[in-house]
Structure 1
Amino acid sequence: MDLDGFHPAVASWFRGQFPAATEVQHRAWRAIGAGSHTLISAPTGSGKTLAAFLGVIDTLVKRGLEGGLADETRILYVSPLKALSNDINKNLQAPLAGIRDKLLESGLPDVRIRALVRTGDTTQSERAKMRRQSPHILVTTPESLYILLTSESGRRMLATVETVIVDEIHALAGNKRGAHLAVSLERLAALCERPPTRVGVSATTRPMEAMVEFLVGIDRSPCQVIDQGHVRHWDLRLELPSSPLEAIMSNEVWVEIYDRLAALAADHRTTIVFVNTRRLAERVARHLADRCGEDQVTSHHGSLSREHRLKAEERLKAGKLKVLVATASLELGIDIGEVDLVCQLGSPRGIARLLQRVGRSGHGVNRVPKGRLVPLSRDELVECAALLDAVARGELDAVALCRKPLDVLSQQIVAEVSMREWEVDALFDLIIRSAPFRELSRNVYLDVLKMLANGFTTQRGRRGAYLHHDRVNGRLRPRRAARLTAVTNGGTIPDQFDYDVTLVPGELFVGTLNEDFAFESMPGDIFQLGNTSYRILKVHSGKVFVEDARGLPPTIPFWFGEAPGRSDELSAAVSRLRREVDEALADEVPADEVPADEAPGSQAPGSQEGGSQTPGSDSTAIARVAKRLVGDHSLPPVAAEQLCEYLASARAALGGLPTAERIVIERFFDEAGDTHIVVHSPYGSRLNRAWGLALRKRFCRRFNFELQAAALEDTIVISLGVVHSFPLEEVVRYLAQATVADVLTQAVLDAPIFPGRWRWNASVALAVRRFRNGKRAPAHFQRTDAEDLLATVFPDQLACAENLAGEREIPDHPLVAQTLQDCLRGVMDIDGLAELLGRIEAGEVEVACRELTSPSPLAQEVLSAKPYAFLDDAPAEERRTLAIQSRRHLTVEQAADLGRLDPEAIQRVRSEAWPDFRDEDELHDALVVLGFMAPPEPGETADVMLERLVADGRASRFRMSGDGWVWISAERLAELEMAVEDGRTDPRIEALECDVETPEAALRELIRSRMEGLGPVTAAELGRPLGLNDRDVASALMALEAEGFAMRGRFSEPAAQSPPVGQSQSPADIESPSRSTSTTRSASPAEPAEEWCDRRLLARIHRYTLKRLRSEIEPVSIAVYQRFLFRWQGLGRERRQGGEALAAVIGELQGLALQAAAWEREILPARLTDYSPVEMDELAVSGRITWYRPMTRQQWIQAAENGPQRGRGTVANSPI
């Protein structure tokens, strides 16, 4: 159907408003007119709303002209947001009124089509009016549709629906709200005499097959897909502050961002700034209001009142608001008028999310959306660059349907059965017709029915029993409280226990505050909400009573929520960009010009060498790669340069950039001597959370120690203690594809995420009621009820850990299964982790390991992660990562040094560790501490002292079979005799009693003692003095490693090796005992042999290496700094002159508060030649400068209370 098939009045109105119908409108009108289910996917601004609505409106017009319209609802429109529902209703009024005008102009009878909104914001009077006279078009949300289906009046209204339009379908299909809506649509179809035609609308939808399945359900007539794609011309660019980005944004850089946003807003009529959190929305709104004007900026998010949000939308649409700072509350297709620019502050974490937000600008046919992406860290810079590349390639996030949420199923079963009696089989058939529940097994369905019929027996009595299950006749009937509970506790949006903010006098609701923020606040505190300052009067019964603070400086409140994880498609784009830069940097130095020992991959995992000559590490190569990125990805030159410098330094430190095909694991010491492991895994936070939590569990089981861990989109950090030592390569072998699900399940049970998800699911399943007796249940009541319920269903979860034997046994209960499902496959990605581990086991993913002296550049962000990234319950102030110190910026050459220990530091530690003895008592102590000494080690000066010890029976020579012998003390002789067979002392001395009982333990303690004085040493060096075989030494070393005492790696430079013990050495060669214990490596100089080192000594080596690196940046002297200040302030011999020079001096000193006379007599004459006050007056009158009289805080408060006073805090451009 095209316009010619419409009624003339409808066609005339459309032609008067638009030049022509779009292709998507023509195709949609034909499909809907034919009565077919239809899915419309087209770019933003292509006329999708009229494509879905106009055809059915035309049908209503024709029907009204033929015989009049009955008071029956024919069209049901469902949107995911209340704001979008209100917006659609407003936009419907214009075509409905216009069509009525055309009918009147044509002399035809009036056809009045009523469209009303039914959401949670609808007043009781409006609802009563709706019940008396049903609208022809009903606009609602999934939650309100559910309530209507669970009430007699609502079902009467919905029984006549012929067409259902689901807008922004992609925003619902992948979550529980979508599963909830899918069942509601099936309930609606069963209610109506003829199942309604379903129309889905979305601008960004993939894959189409899943969206069709979600829209129409199973076993229905075919669905016509109108797929115009999402690709269109976009004006997208990166915006960076003047200062380089870092892992943490400093206040100075934030000021630059605010200034840039204000400048962008000044160049456009209306601007929307999207942020990812409500706290940031309030913060940005306040700073932009200081720059753009209080009445020109406001915020828009879900914790603000409906009235504030609607007023903000109307002001923006009318052009009365210049900047609107919003969260996802404005992300979907709300018509907010002519928006010229959209700025996204921080990465949106998804391709579709960016397109939706930027699509708020240029919202119209043949218009170009304009967006600016502002990264807030170096990792976000890489992510945003990859995001723009993905948009340019036409890529889009795939939406995965939420499958079989049993808490949603429970709620919908109670709601539907509460309205009428059902057969068990018939209700099952209805449910599995919805796409999310198509795979629901009958056994699980019966388990849910059993739960709803039997309820839960707790210490507070029986609860949660809402159905009578007649198992004899296979029928379901409601209990008395079923309908009321289903209506008052319906929906899937979790309760965050926010406090209502009420303005007095008048009891005006202005928004909500987080429970913790409200609980910690005191009367008199001032906070900001909706860009307005409020003073707290009292906090009582879930409400915060406030008064207007009249603009006094506020604090910014905080809210807790779940940040969206990065989509898999965007993670793949990040990996692709990293791979491209990695290969480009490698190509800058041809392979034949790179020495073999410096080529990528030539080092064994854990090697300390390499990196200083990383291919492409020089600044010229970085500049060339940056130039390629500018050309290939249309990045701004400054962004490309920062990106390349960041990734090049990371590549130099890690030996290669982490990608989807290469995982890099690094380990380093902190200032306290503890170690930290960072896994560079660019698969997104959902997979990394799963991997980090499972690794944490495995570490806990192995070392019996609870570890701290955190996970971000590209990294995982695990903070270890002093008892953890193991080969770094073993980390990836701690988990296996076959068993990772079981390990992660047990880890989730111990994680803070499980209790919260349990409460949410229990609330959705109606097992814990959020409302009682018409009032909201207090937060502590809900938490207590959820805990009591968990104790009944899953007692091991709350049991004392001392009473648990082995792993917790998971009960076969629907709510427990659903909670684990939400944790493992909602918050985390267990399936993706299992697949990754399988690829690692198959060798498809490379794993590289690096031992570093300091964190690599790519590790900086996770080390300073916010609490939402933590995988344990330790607070931010107790994180072990606080002991890590690292430089904010690293050049490529500096980053390459992170993988190499300072040879001088190694020698220094060896010298410090070796005992320094001055008499025979100290030499005896050295023999006891070191276990034994090889003949050259005491040195020639110790011969007399040794003979005295032998004469006293305190020491002797211990001869092995053959010619070898060592010095041994009586205290350690028993251990040596157990460890070495066929040995004897010469002369014979009596062995003292020791604590060890087995030869293995004796050898372990002897090697432990030797390592305490040697520093980095190979296994061969440790075993050679006693003639031990490598197997026995390796076994002892691995036992020490398991204790956390020893660490292995390649620490020393090949050139620093000393001659082996036994070769002739001059006295000069025996300056340091540690040199004499070295031995020739079995490996080539290009690949040093594996060494072992006492953990404490290795930490000291790392500390000395860092100290040497830091000493390379020495502060200048006071005299040099003073001379610089004189030059900087223009107080040198050469001074400036003229009006322009005066303007430059004032620009350097602006913001400095001094007496007016001081400016005229001292400050300016000292910096300018022949300064004249007339020049200052000219600059002031011309408007180039202004002067300002500052006030104290007390003066600000008095001014706010008393109103502005003349001469106080005024800003002027008149002469001083």
Structure 2
Amino acid sequence: MPVIYSPPMGCALDDFHPAVRTWFERRFAAPSRAQDLGWPVIGAANDVPGFDVLLCAPTGSGKTLAAFMWAINGLVLDAARDRLRDEVSVLYVSPLKALANDIRLNLEEPLDGVRDVGAESGLDLSRIRAGLRTGDTSASERTAMLRRPPHILVTTPESLFILLTSPKFREKLAAVRHVIVDELHALAGNKRGAHLALTLERLERFVTGRGNARPNRIGLSATLNPIEKLAGFLAGYEVARNNSRSPRPIKIVRADDRVRTMDLQVIAPGPELGPLATHPHWEAMYDEVARLIGEHRTTLVFTLSRRFAERVALNLQKRLGIDAVMAHHGSLARAERLLAEQRLKRGELKAIVATASLELGIDVGAVELVCQLDSPKSISAAIQRVGRSGHSLGATPKGRFFALTTDDLLECGAAVRAIRRGHLDEVEIPMGCADIAAQQIVAIAAEEEEISEAELLRVLRSAYNFGDLDAGKLRHLLEQLSAELPERIMGASPKIFFDRVNARVRPRRSARLSAITSGGTIPEAGNYDVVIESEGRKVGDVEEDFAQESSRGDVFSLGSMPWQIQRISRGRLMVEPAPGMAPTLPFWQTEAGGRSQALSAEICDLRREIWSRLERNESAAGWLMNECAMSE
């Protein structure tokens, strides 16, 4: 079972190489709580491989640097002993491409600082390199990375799967010592996490097969519940020859204090709330948000959908100016999102209106205020979003929840009450996932050339999500993957050979290509690219249905900018800027997720308490103001 481990504070900084320690002491006044608690445990895992580490700490507490410091320290020691080789030593896996890029940029400061300190004492650390590999990485960068791989590789779960399946790059991963998995809660509760879990098991099998020690795993997150189950998900299992499983050892470091001080308030501006939001409600909300933005240097405004984000950004621009507010969501091109992030960081923007695209730890500088419009739909989302403000040691996060209906009011109040009481959503880890197993089986067959059915079962059962997989279920899956289907069915050609007599699995010629081009769990959107015709630059994308319902001359908003359609070509909307014109709003189907089970339970509890007070002829208003931070 995982171990809750709380080491004594203030003893690990002396254990770092002098160049690393000196840089840290010059840069920071003192280690954070996450670093004080995390360093002894992570350092012990590095010195004596055999257990993994899960570090749970609030956003902005320095937990990412806590994990990276020991990784950098190991590379400095290698360089000092002239043992630094051109191979990947540290893998950092992030659920977001933008977050991965952000971490690579934030790695440059400690690496540059440690190099400078080393140079003062005559130690050459210039060879230590960090690199980024995601779906946005250019072909030239990929080729250069193959020739001279970085020692610290920042990537995503899907890109790691491709790298491990690629016959050329996988050899560069043979000496990986540490795997850092950030925002673990964002992966564990969906099939991306199951896919990553199997990729990590394949990586471990590959590294240990080359005679090297098993890479230790370091998980990072701000919101984890139940933490022991998620620790088990990160570490996985050891599977014996008889297919019995035993959990791998993992130590949990808690630096989150469960209840973090936050400045929270639920606001309902405008007329009396009802079951529907009317025009006066919207206008009052826009006015109040604009007022708050004006009182703070930088503000993040979170909405539930991309369409909502575009609408809010346009209305705030009318009140604050076009150059004061920008929209930010997943349908904007990477360059457009990065522009908004950098402008906010430089103080050129007053606010960004975002969806979940900015929920995780992307660095947008010092944010003073977070406004959540409508219900956040989950307790963890509320904590993550409000935690984007006060993103520095000792600062207090500040969040304002805006309710437009009576149902919104209850949901926002219940979310605030849950945060104050230290309650969290419980992550449901998906089990079984036959589609994920099928993808990984094809990839394993491609890299192994031949593998026994029993060994394949052991690899799959090592991942947390596949504990209920037995020999019978695996054989049924292998028979399906190897079955010959009618040629009229698109993509029906089998990807593996399954020798039922000798219980062996071999790849067909198309196995590796199929795994690399079809891996992952993020579905193809089939959207239309929005391209500026005069520049040939993509600004984002819209859904196919919206594109097909549009006509030449129509004006719509994307990235809080109006665009006029010049023509519609195959898979592309060719547009030009249309400043001053009134745009319509694009739509995206099935955007907003449902309410979490934990928040639903909190709402039921809140309704019961209100009803109980009313039955006793007690006033509920004062209690709600104190308990749920509702404005009068």
TM category (shorter chain) comes to over 0.9
Q: 1:291 to 1:562 in 2, by over 3 A?
A: closer
1:243-264 CA-partner distances (Å, limit 9, x unpaired): 1222221222211111111100
Match of 1:583 in 2: 612
Shift of 1:333: 1.2
1:824-855 CA-partner distances (Å, limit 9, x unpaired): xxxxxxxxxxxxxxxxxxxxxxxxxxxxxxxx
Q: Does 1:128 align with 2:128?
A: no
Shift of 1:160: 1.4
Q: 1:462 to 1:165 in 2, by over 3 A?
A: closer
The structure whose RCO (Cα within 8 Å, separation 6+) is larger is: 2
Structure 2 unaligned spans of 5+: 1-10, 46-50, 239-246
CA–CA separation in structure 1 for the residues paired with 2:557 and 2:178: 44
Q: How does 1:89-488 map to 2 (within 5 A)?
A: 89-193=104-208, 194-219=213-238, 221-229=248-256, 230-420=258-448, 421-457=450-486, 459-460=488-489, 463-488=492-517
1:345-368 CA-partner distances (Å, limit 9, x unpaired): 111111111000111100111110
1:178-199 CA-partner distances (Å, limit 9, x unpaired): 0000000001001113220000
- The AA in structure 2 aligned to 1:99 is V
Match of 1:1141 in 2: none
Q: Of the candidates 610, 616, 622, which is equivalent to residue 627 of structure 1?
A: 622
Does the Cα contact within 8 Å between 1:41 and 1:204 map onto a contact in 2? yes
Shift of 1:472: 2.2
User: SS of the residue aligned with 2:218?
Assistant: strand
Shift of 1:563: 2.4
- The AA in structure 1 aligned to 2:12 is D
Match of 1:559 in 2: 588
Q: Of the candidates 16, 31, 51, which is equivalent to residue 6 of structure 1?
A: 16
Match of 2:579 in 1: 550
Q: 1:549 to 1:491 in 2, by over 3 A?
A: same
User: SS of the residue aligned with 1:382?
Assistant: helix
Match of 2:526 in 1: 497
Does the Cα contact within 8 Å between 2:237 and 2:248 map onto a contact in 1? no
User: SS of the residue aligned with 2:509?
Assistant: coil
Q: Of the candidates 488, 509, 523, which is equivalent to residue 552 of structure 2?
A: 523
User: SS of the residue aligned with 1:259?
Assistant: helix
Does the Cα contact within 8 Å between 1:164 and 1:196 map onto a contact in 2? yes
Match of 1:857 in 2: none
Does the Cα contact within 8 Å between 1:351 and 1:570 map onto a contact in 2? yes
1:15-47 CA-partner distances (Å, limit 9, x unpaired): 111111123212322122122310000112211
Does the Cα contact within 8 Å between 1:71 and 1:134 map onto a contact in 2? yes
- The AA in structure 2 aligned to 1:360 is R
- The AA in structure 2 aligned to 1:200 is G
Does the Cα contact within 8 Å between 1:270 and 1:322 map onto a contact in 2? yes
- The AA in structure 2 aligned to 1:228 is A
- The AA in structure 1 aligned to 2:189 is G
Does the Cα contact within 8 Å between 1:100 and 1:112 map onto a contact in 2? no
Does the Cα contact within 8 Å between 2:264 and 2:629 map onto a contact in 1? no
User: SS of the residue aligned with 1:321?
Assistant: coil
User: SS of the residue aligned with 2:341?
Assistant: helix
Q: 1:48 to 1:138 in 2, by over 3 A?
A: same
CA–CA separation in structure 2 for the residues paired with 1:358 and 1:110: 39
CA–CA separation in structure 2 for the residues paired with 1:283 and 1:366: 35
1:93-117 CA-partner distances (Å, limit 9, x unpaired): 0000011111112232334321111
Match of 1:61 in 2: 76
- The AA in structure 2 aligned to 1:448 is L
Does the Cα contact within 8 Å between 2:265 and 2:401 map onto a contact in 1? yes
Q: Does 1:22 align with 2:32?
A: yes
1:1047-1094 CA-partner distances (Å, limit 9, x unpaired): xxxxxxxxxxxxxxxxxxxxxxxxxxxxxxxxxxxxxxxxxxxxxxxx
Q: 1:255 to 1:461 in 2, by over 3 A?
A: closer
- The AA in structure 2 aligned to 1:214 is F
Q: Of the candidates 530, 533, 540, which is equivalent to residue 569 of structure 2?
A: 540
CA–CA separation in structure 2 for the residues paired with 1:434 and 1:507: 45
CA–CA separation in structure 1 for the residues paired with 2:118 and 2:582: 57
CA–CA separation in structure 2 for the residues paired with 1:270 and 1:464: 54
- The AA in structure 1 aligned to 2:23 is W
1:934-958 CA-partner distances (Å, limit 9, x unpaired): xxxxxxxxxxxxxxxxxxxxxxxxx
- The AA in structure 1 aligned to 2:85 is A
Match of 1:33 in 2: 43
Shift of 1:68: 4.4
1:559-617 CA-partner distances (Å, limit 9, x unpaired): 012422222221111111111111111111xxxxxxxxxxxxxxxxxxxxxxxxxxxxx
Q: How does 1:877-956 map to 2 (within 5 A)?
A: none
Greater helix share, 1 or 2? 1
CA–CA separation in structure 2 for the residues paired with 1:179 and 1:464: 25
Does the Cα contact within 8 Å between 1:218 and 1:438 map onto a contact in 2? no
Does the Cα contact within 8 Å between 2:413 and 2:629 map onto a contact in 1? no
- The AA in structure 2 aligned to 1:313 is E
CA–CA separation in structure 1 for the residues paired with 2:172 and 2:337: 29
User: SS of the residue aligned with 2:154?
Assistant: strand
Q: How does 1:727-876 map to 2 (within 5 A)?
A: none
- The AA in structure 1 aligned to 2:221 is S
1:852-882 CA-partner distances (Å, limit 9, x unpaired): xxxxxxxxxxxxxxxxxxxxxxxxxxxxxxx
Shift of 1:545: 1.3
CA–CA separation in structure 2 for the residues paired with 1:464 and 1:27: 53
% identical equivalent positions:
48
Shift of 1:455: 4.4
Does the Cα contact within 8 Å between 1:268 and 1:340 map onto a contact in 2? yes
Does the Cα contact within 8 Å between 1:532 and 1:551 map onto a contact in 2? no
Does the Cα contact within 8 Å between 1:502 and 1:508 map onto a contact in 2? yes
Q: 1:302 to 1:633 in 2, by over 3 A?
A: closer
Length-normalised TM-score, structure 1: 0.49
Match of 2:3 in 1: none
Larger radius of gyration: 1
Does the Cα contact within 8 Å between 1:65 and 1:111 map onto a contact in 2? no
1:439-486 CA-partner distances (Å, limit 9, x unpaired): 212222111111110143264578141001112222111111111121
Aligned length: 603
User: SS of the residue aligned with 1:418?
Assistant: helix
Q: 1:117 to 1:37 in 2, by over 3 A?
A: same
Shift of 1:393: 0.8
Structure 1 unaligned spans of 5+: 589-620, 638-1216
Q: How does 1:637-676 map to 2 (within 5 A)?
A: 637=632
CA–CA separation in structure 2 for the residues paired with 1:123 and 1:162: 26
User: SS of the residue aligned with 1:179?
Assistant: helix
Does the Cα contact within 8 Å between 1:455 and 1:462 map onto a contact in 2? no
CA–CA separation in structure 2 for the residues paired with 1:461 and 1:17: 58
Q: 1:298 to 1:455 in 2, by over 3 A?
A: farther
RMSD: 1.4
1:763-815 CA-partner distances (Å, limit 9, x unpaired): xxxxxxxxxxxxxxxxxxxxxxxxxxxxxxxxxxxxxxxxxxxxxxxxxxxxx
CA–CA separation in structure 2 for the residues paired with 1:473 and 1:631: 69
Q: 1:127 to 1:37 in 2, by over 3 A?
A: same
CA–CA separation in structure 2 for the residues paired with 1:89 and 1:399: 28
1:1010-1031 CA-partner distances (Å, limit 9, x unpaired): xxxxxxxxxxxxxxxxxxxxxx
- The AA in structure 1 aligned to 2:197 is A
Q: How does 1:1024-1035 map to 2 (within 5 A)?
A: none
- The AA in structure 2 aligned to 1:470 is D
